[in-house]
Amino acid sequence: MIRRRAVQRSLLFLPGALVAPLPVAWSQTRALPSLTIDDLSDPAGLSAVGTRWKLVTDQVMGGVSRGTLTRETVAGRPALVIRGDVRLENNGGFIQISLDLAHPEAPGRGTLDVRSWQGLEIDVYGARQPYSLHLRTTDLDRPWQSYRQEFAVQPVWQSLRLPFADFVPHRTEAPLDLSRLRRLGIVAIGRAFRADLALGGVRLYG
């Protein structure tokens, strides 16, 4: 496992320009395999990127939502679990877990080029509620800007595919630049509710 993850990291994340897209002729004739961003298997809590998930709430902008991030076994699988109360007071309304996609040896410069893939596949489990996956690129410099796609969870493990083509720009006119992906987030947002979501993995799919 350690050897496989080390090889995977060397292919995915290099300082500066990361993951050069495969030749167009190849990608048009064969489906790309999935490529793991995090499968929650690292005992030290590192993703395949070499970074860690972080909890962020609207308290960074004066809101009052509260949340927790824990590592647990959920229905027989290792998972990251985000729980908390999303509240709308003080123009708040979100809690999220985010993962930087920059190589730790290249702070501020590392990005992920995902032009050779069709989208992100996530393994999720939780009470029936809608959540959102947010993407950020180097084109965005305001904390409220992102590219968003909603998804729904159920109290059973599911693998959901979220095509890059279906992400919607939020408070930005810049198109989604798949060559400069910087961060992703799993977000409970937009309405007052009790969030309880388990994440079992994140992959690119072709």
Mean pLDDT, residues 22-49: 70
Domain range for 118: 2-205
Q: How confident is the model at residue 200 (pLDDT cuts 50, 70, 90)?
A: very high
| Whole-number pLDDT of residue 138 | 94
Task: Provide the whole-model pTM.
Answer: 0.83
- Flag whether pLDDT at 173 surpasses 70: yes
- Is the pLDDT reported for residue 7 higher than 70? no
pLDDT band, very low/low/confident/very high, at 110 (cuts 50, 70, 90)? confident
Coil vs helix vs strand at 155: coil
Please give the residue that has the higher pLDDT: either 166 or 102: 166
pLDDT of residue 33: 73
pLDDT surpassing 80 at residue 8: no
Runs of H (alpha helix) within the chain: 2-12, 24-29
pLDDT at 103: 60
Per-residue pLDDT for 22 more than 50? Answer: no
pLDDT at 29 over 70: no
CATH number, domain at 129? 2.60.120.430
Phi, psi of 169 (to 5 degrees): -65, 140
- Structure confidence at residue 72 (pLDDT): 97
Percentage with pLDDT > 70 across the chain:
81
- 106 burial via Cβ count (<10 Å: 0-12, 13-18, 19+): middle
Number of domains in the chain: 1
The more confidently predicted of residues 33 and 39 is 39
Q: How confident is the model over 122-160, as pLDDT tens digits? A: 999 999 999 999 999 999 999 999 999 999 999 999 999
Cβ burial 140-174 (10 Å sphere, 16+ → b, else e): beeeebbbbbeeebeeebeeeebebeebebeebee
Rounded to an integer, what distance in angstroms lies between the CA atom of residue 86 and that of residue 94? 6
